[in-house]
């Protein structure tokens, strides 16, 4: 199934016209998520990458990791973005991936080994309680990750991401979007409600969520991938 190519870009941080509405909850435990992603880690790219790849690529372009930077990929999955980031930061930089599932971390490490990128490292950890010191990273990348957290958890998750970002650090979030939702989004949410472990992502309002957490929006893009709206947002810590 081919992905749609429609995309638009905005550099403004003006208030969006449409106010946020209710979003679905994520009624599954961390343990259930860890077990599920461990189970599918070897097959994940076959199932999910055709959907995720276009928006993830746009997100990596927006993040624009530079040589010498220390960059974190939260929820790194099978390591596709970590490999790209490790190549971008060069021999004087570091790319770190963190994932909740041991199986995903193993696949990511193998991807880095296959690419010969010893400046990349992957650890097992929770995106809501990162095993890193404050101000450790110049940039943070999260592709189809923020919407995995239940609604009450998101403010704490973003506070943790703020904690590990250095002053002036930037964040790029790629997420299913409830903005401009239509029949496909409505149907997806109904499936999510019935299968919250298998279909654990759900659309959220990305820009508003990041603003409320104290980030300043630098640039946004909205893409349609397989009929689903996806927001790609680059932002920075407010001074």
- Domain extents for the chain? 25-237
CB 75 within 8 A of CB 99: yes
Tell me how crowded residue 118 is: count the other CB atoms within 10 A of its CB.
Answer: 10
Rounded Cα distance, 234 and 9, in Å: 11
Tell me the C-alpha distance between 3 and 54, whole Å: 8
Query: Which two tokens mark 120?
Result: 């990349």
Q: Can you tell me which residue has the tokens 């624009």?
A: 64
Share of the chain above pLDDT 70, in %: 87
Tens digit of pLDDT for each residue in 180-227? 767 777 777 776 677 666 666 788 999 999 999 999 999 999 998 888
- pLDDT value, residue 185: 74
pLDDT greater than 50 at residue 11? no
- What per-residue confidence (pLDDT) applies to 228? 86
- Quote the pLDDT of residue 184: 73
**Which pLDDT value is given to residue 134?**
98
Which pLDDT does position 236 carry in this prediction?
96
Q: What span, in angstroms and rounded, lies between the C-alpha atoms of 199 and 189?
A: 9
Report the pLDDT value the prediction gives residue 192, as an integer from 0 to 100.
Answer: 65
Quick one: 25-237 is in which CATH superfamily?
Vaccinia Virus protein VP39 (3.40.50.150)
For residue 210, give the nearest of 16, 6, 2, 5 by alpha carbon: 16
Q: Are 139 and 111 in contact (CB under 8 A)?
A: no
Spatial CA neighbour of 70 closest among 105, 97, 110: 97
pLDDT score for 7: 41
- Beta-bridge mates of residue 232: 174, 221
Rounded to an integer, the average pLDDT of 10-14 is 45
Q: Are 45 and 80 in contact (CB under 8 A)?
A: yes
Question: Measured in whole angstroms, how far is the alpha carbon of residue 238 from the centre of its chain?
Answer: 20
Mean pLDDT of 43-61: 94
Q: Cα(67)–Cα(93) distance, rounded to whole angstroms?
A: 6
Percentage of residues of the chain with pLDDT beyond 90 = 68
> pLDDT tens digits, residue range 83-126?
999 999 999 999 999 999 999 999 999 999 999 999 999 999 99
- pTM comes to 0.88
- pLDDT for position 226: 83
């Amino acid at each position: 199934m081919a992905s749609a190519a429609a995309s638009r870009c905005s550099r403004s941080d003006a208030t969006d016209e449409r106010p946020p509405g209710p979003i679905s909850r994520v009624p599954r435990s961390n343990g259930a998520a860890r077990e599920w992603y461990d189970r599918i880690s070897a097959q994940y790219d076959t199932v999910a990458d055709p959907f995720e790849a276009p928006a993830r690529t746009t997100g990596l372009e927006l993040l624009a990791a530079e040589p010498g930077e220390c960059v974190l990929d939260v929820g790194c999955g099978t390591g596709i973005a970590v490999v790209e980031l490790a190549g971008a930061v060069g021999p004087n930089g570091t790319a770190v991936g963190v994932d909740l599932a041991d199986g995903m971390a193993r696949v990511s490490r193998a991807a880095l080994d296959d690419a010969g990128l010893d400046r990349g490292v992957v650890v097992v950890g929770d995106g809501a309680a990162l095993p890193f010191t404050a101000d450790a990273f110049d940039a943070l990348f999260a592709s189809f990750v923020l919407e995995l957290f239940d609604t009450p958890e998101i403010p704490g998750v973003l506070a943790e991401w703020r904690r590990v970002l250095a002053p002036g650090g930037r964040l790029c979030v790629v997420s299913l979007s409830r903005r401009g939702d239509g029949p496909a989004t409505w149907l997806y949410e109904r499936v999510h409600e019935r299968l919250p472990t298998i279909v654990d992502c759900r659309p959220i309002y990305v820009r508003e969520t990041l603003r409320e957490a104290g980030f300043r929006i630098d640039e946004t893009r909205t893409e349609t991938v397989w009929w689903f709206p996806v927001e790609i947002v680059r932002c920075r810590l407010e001074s």
